[in-house]
Structure 1
C-alpha cells in the first residue's frame, strides 16, 4: 500500500522473500532499528511504532505520519543484500475552503484573487472550476502558490463565477463551496426602440412607447431628453399619448452608473443617429 494513509500501519517486506539473521532498517539518513538473531533494538523516535520480523526482515511501522515519507532501506550481512523503496504517507483531505480578497470589483479596473485551502490534507493538487467549465491559465488568468490561488487580472463582467476549488491527493479529494465576484460595469451597448420597432416615422395621434435599455450593473439610472434638453421622465420607458407634430424631433436617453461613475448617451451630435432617434411625421 503506497501511498499509505496517515495513522495506518504499513509492512515493508522483501520480494522474493529470504531468511535474514541480522540487519538494519533506515529511512533517508535516520536509523529505525537493527536486529541480530532474536534480538532487536529500536532507535529513539520509533520506539513503540517499529518492529522487525527477525526471520524475514520485514519492517512493520505503525501510526504513520506525513513525516514518515521517505526512502526506506534495509541492509543485511547474512546474507549480503541491500534493498530500498520510497514510501509516501498522505493525509486525507477535509474542509476545502475559499477566501476572496474582495468580492465587489469594477470592470477593467481591479483584479480578483481567490485562495483555496484545506484544514487537513497533504500532497495536494488543485483544480479550479467556473460553473461547469475548468479554468485554465490565460493572459488575464494566473495560478500561483502551487495552483492554490486563482488571480483574474482586470476582471470583466463575464468573470463573476461561480468559482469553486477542487483539492485532491492520491487517496482523497474535496470540493469547496462556490463564490462569486460582483463585477460592476457599464452602462454601454445602449438601445432605444419605439413601439418595439426601429422605425423613425409615426403618424400624428399615435401613442408611442419608447424603451431605453443599457447593459449595466448595478442597473443604470436613466434620464430622458428631447431636442437636447432633459425632460421630467426617468426609467426605462417613456410614453407619449396622442402625439402632435410639435413633438417631432430627436429623443435621447442618458444612462448613469453611480458605482462605475460612467455615463452614456444614446443620442449624441455628430453620430449616425438613424437607429437611435425618430421624427414624428407632420401632415
Structure 2
C-alpha cells in the first residue's frame, strides 16, 4: 500500500497528493525492475551454457527389410539446454504417420521403412550459443525382388532347330537377386541371370519362367512365361 496519507479529508493538501502519487510510481517502478531483473537472471544471466559437442547418431539397427522393419535413431550430444533437429539429406524431418519424433526430438523412429528412407540422416543439436551436426548415418534397406521379367533374343516364340536362344531375367532387388529357371513348372539345374540354349531342338519346346530370389528379404518373384516352339529350318 503506497498511500501513507488520506487523499480525501480537510487536512490533505495538493503537495500531499503529489507526494503520494510519486511514492506510488516509485514503488511500482521498483517492483517492475526487480521482476524484470529476476526473469532476466533466470533465463540468461543465471544459466551457464555449455557449447554443443560430440553429436552422434546411435541406431538400433542399420540392416532393414523394406515394409517389415522399424528403425530408431537416437541423437547423443554434450552441452546444455539442447534442441534437436533431424535431416534426411538436406530436408528437415517432421512427424508423420510412420515417422515419430520423441524424447524432445532426440529420437527418430521410422516404421515400415521403404527403399527411399535409407538416408543419409543427420542430427543437429543447438543451444543459445552454439550448434553442431552429427556425421551422416546411412541405413541399408533390403528390398525386392520386384516383378521379374524375361526377355528372349531373338524374340520367338517359333525357332528353327539348331539355332541359339538367350533368355535374360531381370528384377530390381537389393542385394542383387539370385535366379533360377523352370521349364513347364519344373526347376532346371541352370542358375544365373541368363539361360542360353544352343543348338535348340524340339526337346527344348515348352514354357520357360525365371524365379528371382533375394537372400536378405527371403522373397521370391516369378516372371511371365516365355513359350518356345522349335520347328525345322525356317
Q: How does 1:10-159 map to 2 (within 5 A)?
A: 81-82=30-31, 83=33, 84-85=36-37, 86=40, 87-88=43-44, 89=47, 90-119=49-78, 121-159=79-117
Higher helix share: 2
Q: Which runs of 5+ in 2 are unaligned?
A: 1-25
TM-score by length of 1: 0.62
**What is the alpha-carbon distance in structure 1 between the residues aligned to residue 81 and residue 91 of structure 2?**
24
Q: Does the alignment pair 1:160 with 2:118?
A: yes
TM-score by length of 2: 0.74
RMSD: 2.4
Match of residue 172 from structure 1 = 130
User: 1:94: Cα distance to partner?
Assistant: 1.0
**What is the alpha-carbon distance in structure 2 between the residues aligned to residue 136 and residue 189 of structure 1?**
32
**What is the alpha-carbon distance in structure 1 between the residues aligned to residue 107 and residue 184 of structure 2?**
53
The higher-RCO structure (CA 8 Å, 6+ apart) is 2
**What is the alpha-carbon distance in structure 2 between the residues aligned to residue 228 and residue 214 of structure 1?**
19
Q: Does the alignment pair 1:188 with 2:188?
A: no
**What is the alpha-carbon distance in structure 1 between the residues aligned to residue 205 and residue 91 of structure 2?**
51
Q: Does the alignment pair 1:278 with 2:227?
A: yes
Give per-residue Cα distances to partners, 1:207-228, cap 9 Å, x unaligned.
2221111222333221111122
Secondary structure at 1:232 match in 2: strand
Look at both structures and tell me which one has the larger radius of gyration over its CA atoms.
2
Q: Which runs of 5+ in 1 are unaligned?
A: 1-76, 268-275
Higher strand share: 1
- Aligned match of 2:215 in 254, 258, 270? 258
Does the 8 Å contact 2:70/2:112 carry over to 1? yes
Give per-residue Cα distances to partners, 1:55-86, cap 9 Å, x unaligned.
xxxxxxxxxxxxxxxxxxxxxx99x7241242
